[in-house]
Amino acid sequence: MNTREEPTSPTPHLAAPPPDNGDEELSQRVQSLRLPQHAGSGGSAGGRVGWILCLLLAGSTAVLGYLLYVERMTPAPEQVEQAQSNAPSKPPPARGPSEATASSGNVALEAKGHIIPAHQILVSPKVGGMVVKMRIIESQRVKKGDVLAELEDTEYRADRDRAKAVLEAAKQQLAELERGFRPEEIEQARAELAEAQVQLVQLEADHKRAAELLSKRVLSQEQYDLALSKFKAMERRVQRLQLALELMEEGPRIERINIARAQVGQAEAELTKAQWRLDNCIIRAPVSGTILEKNAEEGSLVNPIAMQGFYSLCEMADLSDLEVELKILEREISKVFKGQKCKVRADAYPDRVYEGYVSRLMPTADRGKAAIPVRVKVKVPAEEEGVYLKPDMGALVSFLNEGLGIGD
């Protein structure tokens, strides 16, 4: 078979592979698949037109496919409205210290803050000891004076009993001084003095006789000295008895009575202190409120001044008296004033709205955040105390364009 070289052309065509085994039939089939050739520039222009048409067709197909995909993925307006109506309401996103979102004409400002108790108390024992009974649990509501726990009181009870005994002894001594001596005691002292005086007269006579006998050299010097010493000893005894009788008749001195009275007062003070320590082994609630957290258990050693062990028993607060702590930016603080009405929504329960008012604007600003601390008092219904609003919860406060009309 005679073949000739074809001129190079951009027109796409299928090149016939040379027959490997000289098969005539296969060669003819390949030749029949070749596109017709055109001489000159006309054939090249036709090839370019073909390529352009192919590209346009491919581009149109891609555009139509994309439009069909977008149409299928885009929901209908009715579906969008239905989805929006069924979607649950969400709390507003967190903001900085304050950010104006006046969604209503009556709202001057909205800001995020945290709920805190107006009065939170750390209950600590006044004396140290081991907890033997714990009568509280978290979230328990207690009244003022209710027993929270009991401490071991053996040592404190012994101190109290010892102080009572000391006081009783001091009182008896004072009473004895104030009463003075009994008449029987005074009569006995007089009798002893009279007897001593009689003995003194007798010894004085013996001394005189001994002196005369000594001068006549009838009595020795030793015998005279013995008689003299007996006389002088009795003379001193008579003086002592006479002075004691005078003191008994005059009564005790006022100074001794005052000293005894001071000793009684000191003993009473020691007894009061010992009784106070014993009484404080029973720890009672200082105010009415709710137990927020227990810091000790039965068997724990508590001491309010020790560095080791537990220094507090529990934390409690009155959950009926809550506030929201906020920081309002300085550029927004002009919209907030004391006594301003507010609406409070907890992040956990955005559908519950509580009334409130601005109770305090703090006297100092936060330099780091360029904000003013503000407190908003929340009015919590009695039946919802401790149920929904809890300390440290996030809350959204809406400041209204009106005040309470009172001097809060």
Residue 156 maps to a domain: no
Residue 96 maps to a domain: no
Number of H helices, E strands in the chain: 7, 14
Q: Are residue 328 and residue 374 in the same domain, yes or no? A: yes
Hey, what are 266's tokens?
């000191």
Distance CA 183, CA 188 (A): 9
Residue 100 maps to a domain: no
Torsion, CA 55, CA 58, CA 63, CA 66, rounded to 10: -140
**Pairing mode, if any, of strands 120-123 and 314-317?**
antiparallel
Kindly report the pTM of this predicted structure. 0.55
Q: Are residue 344 and residue 359 in the same domain, yes or no? A: yes
> Which pLDDT does position 89 carry in this prediction?
43
Alpha-carbon separation of residue 383 from 41, 136, 293, 377, 388 (angstroms): 98, 22, 22, 18, 10
At 197, the amino acid letter reads Q
**Nearest Cα to 174, choosing from 109, 261, 99?**
261
CA angle 156, 158, 159 (to 5 degrees): 65
- The whole domain housing 185 covers 162-275
Alpha-helical regions (H) of 74-182: 77-86, 154-179
Residue 363 DSSP SS3: coil
Q: Are residue 271 and residue 287 in the same domain, yes or no? A: no
CA 62 to chain centre: 68
Say if CB 108 and CB 99 are below 8 A apart.
Answer: no
CATH number at residue 297: 2.40.50.100
Maximal C-alpha separation, the chain: 204
Q: Are residue 177 and residue 265 in the same domain, yes or no? A: yes
- Of how many residues is the chain composed? 408
> Which pLDDT does position 90 carry in this prediction?
44
CA angle 124, 127, 131 (to 5 degrees): 75
Q: Are residue 130 and residue 269 in the same domain, yes or no? A: no
> Which pLDDT does position 193 carry in this prediction?
87
Say which DSSP state 310 is in: B
Residue 342 maps to a domain: yes
Q: Are residue 209 and residue 255 in the same domain, yes or no? A: yes
> Which pLDDT does position 98 carry in this prediction?
43
* N-to-C CA span, the chain: 116
Hey, what are 62's tokens?
């891609």
Residue 93 maps to a domain: no
Q: Are residue 132 and residue 169 in the same domain, yes or no? A: no
> Which pLDDT does position 91 carry in this prediction?
42
Residue 92 maps to a domain: no
Domain count, the chain: 4
CA angle 14, 17, 20 (to 5 degrees): 160
CATH number at residue 347: 2.40.30.170
> Which pLDDT does position 217 carry in this prediction?
81
Q: Are residue 215 and residue 187 in the same domain, yes or no? A: yes
Q: Are residue 229 and residue 294 in the same domain, yes or no? A: no
Q: Are residue 307 and residue 352 in the same domain, yes or no? A: no
**Nearest Cα to 380, choosing from 405, 350, 352, 406?**
352
Q: Which residues contact 143 (CB under 8 A, 6 or more apart)?
A: 285, 288
> Which pLDDT does position 58 carry in this prediction?
77
pLDDT tens, the chain, 408 aa long: 444 444 444 444 444 444 444 456 555 654 555 545 444 444 455 566 667 777 777 777 777 777 766 566 655 544 544 444 444 444 444 444 444 444 456 999 999 999 999 989 999 999 999 999 999 999 999 999 999 999 999 999 999 999 999 999 999 988 888 776 777 777 888 888 888 989 989 988 888 888 888 888 888 888 888 988 988 999 999 999 888 887 777 767 788 888 999 999 999 999 999 999 999 999 999 999 999 999 999 999 898 876 555 688 999 999 999 999 999 999 999 999 999 999 999 999 999 999 999 999 999 999 999 999 999 999 999 888 888 999 999 999 999 998 765 444
Residue 226 maps to a domain: yes
Domain termination site, one of 218, 250, 275: 275
* Packed helices 154-179 and 254-279: angle between N→C axes, nearest 10 degrees: 160
Cβ count near 332 (within 10 Å): 19
Q: Are residue 347 and residue 303 in the same domain, yes or no? A: no
> Which pLDDT does position 333 carry in this prediction?
93
